[in-house]
Structures are given as C-alpha cells and as structure tokens.
Chains A and B, each alone.
Chain A
Amino acid sequence: GAVVSQHPSRVICKSGTSVKIECRSLDFQATTMFWYRQFPKQSLMLMATSNEGSKATYEQGVEKDKFLINHASLTLSTLTVTSAHPEDSSFYICSAARQALSGGEKLFFGSGTQLSVL
C-alpha cells in the first residue's frame, strides 16, 4: 500500500516556541493532503486541507495564523504550530489520497506526531 511518512513522531517543547511537522508521500504524488488533530479518546478532527501550490483551506475554528501549512511540492506538506501553548498539546496526523477524492478513495495516514507543550 501507499506510504505516508510523518515526523517527528514525538516532540516536547516549551510554551511560546514553534514546532514544524513534516508529511511526505513516499511512493505517490499527492496534490492534496489533510491535517487532522486528535485529542485523547476523541475523534480525528480535520484541521485543514493542504493544496499543492496554493493556500490551504482551513476548517471553521482553526486559526490559520497559528497553524501554518505549506505544500510546496507534490510529496511534501508541512504544518507549523506557531507560539505553541499547552492547549495545543495533541496528536497531529496527516493523510493523503493517491488521486483526487471523488468517492471511495481511501486515505493513507502518516504515523502521527504527539505534541506536548510544557
């Protein structure tokens, strides 16, 4: 199956610092990638859709200036959590589909990044 690589897998940082998370599709080109956040025992919440070569589309309630998304190539999307605070501590997961979603295409997920902000 398709492979999506995400790193770091775990990061601990001080409050006020910025953290960058990388998501790469290793064996296919992904024009669109998705960033989810998951709190313990909660569902995956879509944060934003990352579009190669254009601005990301953010879900309602997600601050675009705080969660910066860059999709500079067909195989790489990055999420930067700026000025992180303890309430940003969560499990962040990226995903991608082999082709444009039109029904039934399964998402391939990265391994996730556990962010802990002290």
Chain B
Amino acid sequence: GQNIDQPTEMTATEGAIVQINCTYQTSGFNGLFWYQQHAGEAPTFLSYNVLDGLEEKGRFSSFLSRSKGYSYLLLKELQMKDSASYLCATSGGSYIPTFGRGTSLIVHP
C-alpha cells in the first residue's frame, strides 16, 4: 500500500515563499506528482519528479529525495490566487497516482 503525509493547512503572506512538505511510504515507486486544487474544482497538474533533485518551473519548484521518501513543493512570489489545496500523489506499481489529503494554503495580504 501507499501512505502519504502532508500538513493539513499552511498560511503565508502575499509575495513570500512557502514550502509544502510531503513524506511517503510506498510499495513500488514510479514518481511523485503535485497537483493544485481550488475549492469545488478539479485538480490541475503542477509537477512530476521521478529522479532525486529539484525541478524548477516558473514560480513553482518541486524536490524529491527517494531515499528519504520526501518531497516538497516550493512556491515563490506568492499571489492571492495561489490560495488552494496542494495534493501530493505517488505513483506505484500500477502507475495510477495515489493522493494525499492535501495541504490547504491560505495566502493573505
């Protein structure tokens, strides 16, 4: 099975940087995804990591350490529209992502 742990809620200030951590335990590993989900909407893809290291994509970066079962999503220059839930998901033997509970990020002025 797969077990994913991430903080329930975080708050940050507009313009700041925030790091959302995710730890996982999985039988079989074929990558880690981050998705963004606004309330009442479908998740949208942010990033995919399968090798160790940092992947940067604009204001968002994602890091993976397979040996530690750890990932983080880094959001820079926070904007109000970044207030959303951020879902960490691992891909196991079946390649179908298994999602964590999500971290609700609140960005305030």
Contacts from A to B (Cβ < 8 Å): 6, 34, 36, 41-46, 49, 91, 93, 101-112, 114
Contact = CB atoms under 8 A, between A and B. Distances in A.
**At the interface, is chain B mostly helix, strand, loop or mixed?**
loop
Contact of A46 (B31, B48, B91, B98): B98
Interface residues of B, number: 25
Given A49-B96, A112-B40, A107 B45 contact: yes
A106 B91 CA distance: 10
Contacts of B100: 43
A113 to B, nearest CB: 10
A69 to B, nearest CB: 15
Contacts of A107: 45, 97
B29 to A, nearest CB: 10
Contacts of A103: 30-31, 50, 91, 95
A104 B32 CA distance: 8
Given A43-B99, A102-B95, A105-B95, 10 more contacts: A41-B8, A41-B104, A43-B100, A43-B101, A91-B40, A101-B91, A103-B91, A103-B95, A104-B31, A109-B43
